[in-house]
Chains A and B, each alone.
Chain A
Amino acid sequence: MTAPLLQARGLVQEYATARSFFGKTSTVRAVDGIDLTVRQGEILGIVGESGSGKSTLGRMLLGLETPAGGEVLYQGAPMPAPRTDAWRKLRAQMQLIFQDPLAALDRRMTIAAQIAEPLEIHGIAKGAEAAERLAALMARVGLRRDQADRYPHELSGGQRQRVVIARALATNPGFLVCDEPVSALDVSIQAQVVNLLRDLQEQEGLTMVFISHDLKVVRNICDRVAVMYLGRVVEEAPSDLLFADPRHPYTRALVSSIPKPGQGLHGRIILQGEPPNPAARPAGCAFHPRCAFADRGCAARVPELQHDGRRQIACLKPDAAAATAA
């Protein structure tokens, strides 16, 4: 097993929400105690529904948000305090790729200027060297030389996402967090960008955290997948294992919700109830109100993430769920 590049220990994030007219506030726990290891060179997938805390987790892994509790270790060392020199240096090594490339790019700058900007900011290259590096970056992500002087609105969605990726690669990072990087792209373009990310992992050994709600893409690109529900990891396993044999009742419903041609509406697990609301977290296991196997114990006790062979699972009744699956 390769060494961990990044480790999260007991990560917690809370946000204050204005609750009443009189200014009373309440806190919402977006992330509620997460332990996670990202190994050198792997792609770790994070899946879960909106409000499960996956984007918040991604931002904390990058040190863009300071956790309310717990810590993140990068290459064994704790994350430096924000806005310090050490923090800025680390920024060059860790990059974020967003869902909406148009929002991530400056509309008034040519794409060449945007891709080259980090080189200048981090003092990596200047003049002819910078121009050379720019050309290499553009070629790396599949942009043509003649597109260098274009503006973002002159490019297609897929090309814009390539610009964002090229800019993220400019500083030669070791770690990327991709937050729904292909969700806004059309199917035929999605595959181009997924393959590009894959090449970066295989050829340059980039380590990635890939956050997405598209389970098919996650299964394809990720080595390991962690499933989040209301700020906690409920199951984590190698990609093949997780999708072939999901164990947690929530993971099972999630995998079953992927529409398969020819199957029709039969045999799908339809979860009752609403997506989770972090402001009104149920007691005990957060999933128990929607779970078909929950009993009184599940409403009282929060299940811990426990090892079970190659997977980790947080469920008080995994055997009941497994029995109906067979």
Chain B
Amino acid sequence: MTFVSIRDLRVAFDGVQVLHGVDLDIRQGEAVGLVGESGCGKSVTWLAALGLLPGKAKVSGSVRLDGQELVGAPRPAIEKVRGKRIAMIFQDPSSSLNPVQRVGKQIMESLRLHRGLKGRDARAEAIRLLDMVGIPSAATRVDLYPHEFSGGQCQRIMIAMALAGEPDLLIADEPTTALDATIQAQILDLLGTIRRETGMAMVFISHDLGAVSVVCDRAVVMYAGRIVEANNIRSLFSAPRHPYTAGLFAAIPDIDADRGRLVPIHGTVPDPKNLPTGCAFSPRCPRATAFCQTDRPHLRPQSGGGDVACFQPVAAPKAFPALRQEALA
């Protein structure tokens, strides 16, 4: 069942359009990865949906949560959704926590706002949440300040705070980017465990394709403010169809392959003030034709599954699984 439905979401800052009509559905309980390079609009999509952008941002389109429209909704209505139905965690936990307030108190504030818990009940629940996200001896550390925890632990505390409202959807915006490799692995593992235990849906925003592949069911690739490809993880990673997606995979060193030269994508991400006509990726695309420079492709469902916005997609593997079965038989 669709929980959040985004239709034709557009965002402009000072007259510069940065999001050019995004359509995206999040079903109950699923984990969706949102990938792309800086400035592609992956974070802006959700900041706009939750009304977290500054006043100068012009947002249009529709974001429906269980049928309730969020774009242009009055503040009290959005505040009932934020933190309660949809919670969000960010890249840098230490700047999201209040440095002069004990962590337990910050979690209890969330519990009071979203679940009406007070006093001893709230404290017991805060300790339970800290325990759940893997803070050792939570009962004694609930009264410590954020600086008394490490970066990884602060991210755990942020996750505990996000879970306080028992949200149906968690938006995790680069939650592991600032963390060390072994701590990153811990947090990804924790997010997986929480999802199994609570059935909560998750949107995982990241430029780290590896991390996305590990925690998500499907992924959406964005480029210059538009979705260019969407598919389940297995298909997307084994057979990317959009040349940009294929280029991203080729640019990342493969840990099991030869240590050969990397294959970069030529050129740079376009300036949002000065987007190329036609497909925004065409100036960097090895497959682009003259047509790609004048006309813009729309996101279309493909016969083999997934959606792609490209006139010249990379060929899908032809009935590869069937061949394999024959070979096995």
* A156-189 vs B, Cβ < 8 Å mask (1 yes, 0 no): 1011000000000000000000000000001111
**A258 is contacted by which of B152, B210, B247 (Cβ under 8 Å)?**
B210
Assess whether A195 is in contact with B181, with CB atoms less than 8 Å apart: no
Contact status B185-A220, CB under 8 Å:
no
- Report chain B residues within 8 Å CB of A213: 180-181
- Assess whether B259 is in contact with A239, with CB atoms less than 8 Å apart: yes
Contact B261 A195 (CB under 8 A): yes
Query: Across the interface, do B181 and A254 meet the contact criterion of CB distance under 8 Å?
Result: yes
Whether the pair A49, B209 counts as a contact (CB closer than 8 A) is no
Judge whether A50 is part of the interface by a CB distance below 8 angstroms: yes
Indicate if A275 sits at the interface (CB-CB under 8 A): yes
Min CB distance, A54 to chain B, in Å?
12
Cα A186 to Cα B209 in complex, Å, equals: 12
Identify which of B180, B181, B259, B261 contacts A219 (C-beta below 8 A): B259
Q: Is A262 an interface residue (CB 8 A)?
A: yes
Q: Does B100 contact A (CB under 8 A)?
A: no
- Say yes or no: B268 contacts A158, CB within 8 Å: yes
Name 28 interchain pairs, CB-CB below 8 A, sorted by A: A49-B180, A159-B268, A186-B269, A187-B37, A187-B209, A187-B252, A188-B264, A189-B264, A191-B265, A192-B264, A194-B253, A195-B262, A216-B253, A219-B259, A220-B262, A253-B182, A253-B185, A254-B181, A254-B182, A256-B185, A258-B210, A259-B208, A259-B213, A264-B214, A265-B188, A265-B215, A271-B182, A275-B182
**Contact pattern, B 171-196, Cβ under 8 Å of A = 1, otherwise 0:** 00000000011111110110010000
* B189, B210, B233, B253 interface centre (most CB from chain A within 10 Å): B253
CB of B251 within 8 A of CB of A188, answer: yes
Decide if A187 touches B248 in the complex (CB within 8 Å).
yes
Per a CB cutoff under 8 Å, which of B181, B214, B256 touches A215? B181
Give 1 or 0 for each of B21-40: 1 = CB within 8 Å of chain A CB.
00000000000000001100
A123-182: which have CB < 8 Å to B?
Answer: 156, 158-159
With a 10 A CB-CB cut-off, give which of B37, B153, B180 has the most chain A CB atoms.
B180
Taken together as a complex, chains A and B put the C-alpha atoms of A185 and B174 apart, in Å, by 15
Complex Cα–Cα for A243 and B214 (A): 20
A257 an interface residue at 8 Å Cβ cutoff? yes
Contact with A along B49-78 (1 / 0, CB 8 A): 000000000000000000000000000000
User: What does the 1/0 interface line of B267-291 toward A look like (CB < 8 Å)?
Assistant: 0110000000000000000000000
The answer for the CA separation of A263 and B262 in the assembled complex, in Å, is 23
B185 engages A271 (CB within 8 Å): yes
Q: With A215-B181, A254-B182 known to touch, is A275 a contact of B150 (CB < 8 Å)?
A: yes
Identify which of B251, B255, B263 contacts A243 (C-beta below 8 A).
B255
In the complex, A264 Cα to B234 Cα: how many Å? 11
Contact B152 A274 (CB under 8 A): yes
Rounded to whole angstroms, the CA-CA distance of A311 and B256 in the bound complex is: 20
Chain B residues whose CB sits within 8 angstroms of the CB of A198 once the complex forms: 261
Whether the pair A215, B255 counts as a contact (CB closer than 8 A) is yes
**A residues adjacent to B (C-beta < 8 A):** 49-50, 156, 158-159, 186-192, 194-195, 198, 213, 215-217, 219-221, 239-240, 243, 253-254, 256-265, 268-271, 274-275, 277
Complex: A239 Cα to B188 Cα, angstroms: 26
Which residues from chain B contact A187 at a C-beta distance below 8 Å? 37, 207, 209, 248, 251-252
Given known contacts A265-B192, A275-B152, is B210 in contact with A191 (CB within 8 Å)? Answer: no
Min CB distance B275 to A, Å, is 15
Size band of the interface chain B makes with A? 35 or more
**Minimum distance in angstroms from B89 CB to a CB of chain A:** 18
CB distance A265 to B37 under 8 Å? no
Q: Please, which residues of chain B bring their CB within 8 A of the CB of A50? A: 180
Known: A49-B182, A217-B253, A265-B188. A186 touches B259 (CB 8 A): no
Known A186-B269, A260-B210: A268·B264 in contact at CB below 8 Å: no
Cβ-defined partner of A257 (8 Å) among B152, B182, B209, B238: B182
Tell whether, in the assembled complex, residue B264 and residue A195 are in contact, meaning their CB atoms are under 8 Å apart.
yes
Q: What B residues does A189 contact at CB under 8 A?
A: 264, 268
- Give Cα A253–Cα B181 distance, bound, in whole angstroms: 9
Query: Is there contact, CB below 8 Å, between A262 and B185?
Result: no
A190 / chain B contacts, CB cutoff of 8 Å: 251, 264
Taking A195-B264, A198-B261, A259-B211 as contacts, is the C-beta distance between A271 and B255 under 8 angstroms?
no
A263 CB contacts on chain B under 8 angstroms: 214
* A194-B262 CB under 8 A given contacts A216-B255, A275-B183: yes
Q: A217 contacts which chain B residues (CB < 8 A)?
A: 253
Are A240 and B181 closer than 8 Å at their CB atoms?
no
- The answer to whether B150 and A258 touch across the interface, beta carbons within 8 angstroms, is no
Q: Give the contacting residue for B189; candidates A192, A239, A270, A275; CB below 8 A.
A: A270
Given contacts A188-B247, A261-B209, is CB(A268)–CB(B185) below 8 Å?
yes
In the bound complex, CA of A189 to CA of B209 (Å): 15
> With the chains together, A62 CA to B52 CA distance in Å?
46
B268 and A219 contact, CB distance less than 8 A? no
Contacts beyond the supplied A240-B259, A260-B214: 8 A-B pairs with Cβ under 8 Å: A187-B207, A187-B248, A189-B264, A189-B268, A191-B265, A259-B188, A259-B214, A268-B189
B237 within 8 A of A: yes
Docked complex: B127-175 residues within 8 A CB-CB of A: 150-153
Docked complex Cα distance between A32 and B207 (Å): 35
Within 8 A of A (CB), among B223-259: 233-234, 237-238, 247-248, 251-256, 259
Cα distance A260–B184 in the bound complex, in angstroms = 14
Complex: A269 Cα to B185 Cα, angstroms? 8
CB-CB nearest in chain A for B210: A259
Which A residue sits closest to B268, measured CB to CB?
Answer: A156
Counting chain A CB atoms within 10 Å of each CB, which of B234, B248, B255, B256 scores highest? B255
Query: How near does chain A come to B263, taking the closest CB pair, in angstroms?
Result: 7
**Which B residues are in CB contact (< 8 Å) with A156?**
268-269
- Chain B residues with Cβ below 8 Å from A261 are 209-210, 213-214, 233, 237
